[in-house]
């Protein structure tokens, strides 16, 4: 059951990561059609269309993370403490705080991405999207490192 | 910009309330996974390690939701949209600075 949840948590995180990365890059300066490279094509998506998917994916991924927290607290964290792996515990602490702050950001993030997009909301939209992108990337990488820590740091 | 105020206030206050809740360890409840129980008061060590995270999130929700609904819409909309981005960015930075204690 825990393994299934962990795999689903990881798969949802991959989808979330893809969506938020596209959207975050889309908030950068627009480039004329003739100059478009792979990176500019990557960011020239209909970014507002990702918003509802990102909100829903973030909430579901966070719920799965919350369900996985008890086994982590009982099995993984004591092991990390016994092995004196303070940094591993630290990055997880940051992961949980960022996930909570990210959840709180979702209402404002959703509002500023509502169509039609307004010029007044541009800076807020850019900040909120990049904060969420940082949160999602951090949590994704930390989750994977901690999941594989026995193999990574023998 | 009309209508953004309550959403922005919720997100800003939620982040501040959550940060204060974990900084001062104020959780409306704690979950004890070893015994599968939620408790408002701290339990003896036999109950195993507590999880405060759920309680911090609920605490932040209980603070931010009433405040965002109580502020009159006209006042809320006077808030510059930029603050909705700047304050959460500052909170993330504060969390990273505070948690550097694990690494040094």
- pLDDT tens digits, B57-72: 999 999 999 999 999 9
Confirm if A128 and B85 have CB atoms less than 8 A apart.
yes
pLDDT at A33: 62
**SS3 assignment, position A31:** coil
> Which DSSP helix (H) or strand (E) runs through A62?
helix A51-71
- How many Å apart are CA A40 and CA A29, to the nearest integer? 9
**Number of domains chain B contains:** 1
| Interface residues of chain A, partner chain B, Cβ below 8 Å | 66, 69-71, 73-74, 77-78, 86-87, 89-91, 93-94, 96-98, 100-101, 103-112, 118, 120-121, 123-128, 131, 134-135
Residue B49 sits at the chain A interface (C-beta within 8 Å): yes
Q: What is the pLDDT of residue A117?
A: 86
Beta-carbon separation of A128 and B18 below 8 A = no
Other beta carbons within 10 angstroms of residue B49's beta carbon come to 14
Q: What is the pLDDT of residues A83-120, one digit of tens each?
A: 889 999 999 999 999 999 999 999 999 999 998 888 88
Provide the angle, in degrees to the nearest 10, between the axes of the packed helices B81-98 and B5-23: 10
Tokens, residue A13: 């995180």
Domain ranges of chain A: 2-152
Q: What tens digit of pLDDT does each residue of B23-57 get?
A: 999 999 999 999 999 999 999 999 999 999 999 99
| Spatial separation of the C-alpha atoms in residues B20 and B89, rounded to whole Å | 16
**What is the span of the domain harbouring residue B45?**
5-102
Average pLDDT, chain A: 90
Percent share of chain B, pLDDT over 90: 82
- Assess whether pLDDT exceeds 80 at residue A142: yes
Provide mean pLDDT across the span A122-139: 95
Q: How many residues does chain B have?
A: 104
Q: What pLDDT score was predicted for residue B104?
A: 82
User: pLDDT confidence of A42, banded at 50, 70, 90?
Assistant: low
- The DSSP letter of residue B31 is E
CA distance to partner chain A, nearest, from residue B27 (Å): 13
A14 phi and psi, to 5 degrees? -65, -45
Which pair of tokens denotes residue A131? 């904060």
């Amino acid at each position: 059951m825990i393994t299934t949840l962990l795999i689903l948590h990881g798969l949802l995180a991959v989808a979330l990561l893809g969506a938020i990365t596209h959207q975050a890059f889309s908030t950068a300066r627009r480039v004329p059609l003739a100059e478009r490279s792979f990176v500019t094509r990557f960011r020239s998506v209909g970014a507002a269309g990702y918003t509802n998917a990102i909100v829903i994916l973030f909430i579901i991924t966070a719920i799965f993370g919350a369900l996985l927290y008890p086994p982590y607290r009982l099995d993984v964290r004591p092991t990390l403490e016994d092995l004196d792996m303070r940094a591993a515990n630290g990055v997880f602490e940051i992961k949980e705080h960022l996930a909570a702050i990210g959840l709180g950001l979702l209402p404002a993030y959703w509002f500023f991405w509502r169509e039609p997009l307004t010029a007044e909301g541009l800076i807020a939209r850019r900040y909120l999207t990049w904060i969420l992108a940082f949160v999602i990337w951090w949590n994704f990488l930390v989750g994977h490192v901690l999941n594989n820590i026995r193999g990574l740091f023998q | 910009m009309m209508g953004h105020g309550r959403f922005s206030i919720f997100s800003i206050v939620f982040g501040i309330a959550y940060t204060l809740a974990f900084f001062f360890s104020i959780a409306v409840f704690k979950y004890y996974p070893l015994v599968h129980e939620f408790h408002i008061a701290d339990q003896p060590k036999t109950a195993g390690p507590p999880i405060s995270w759920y309680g911090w999130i609920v605490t932040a929700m209980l603070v931010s939701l009433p405040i965002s609904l109580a502020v009159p819409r006209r006042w809320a909309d006077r808030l510059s949209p930029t603050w909705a981005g700047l304050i959460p960015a500052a909170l993330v930075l504060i969390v990273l600075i505070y948690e550097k204690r694990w690494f040094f």
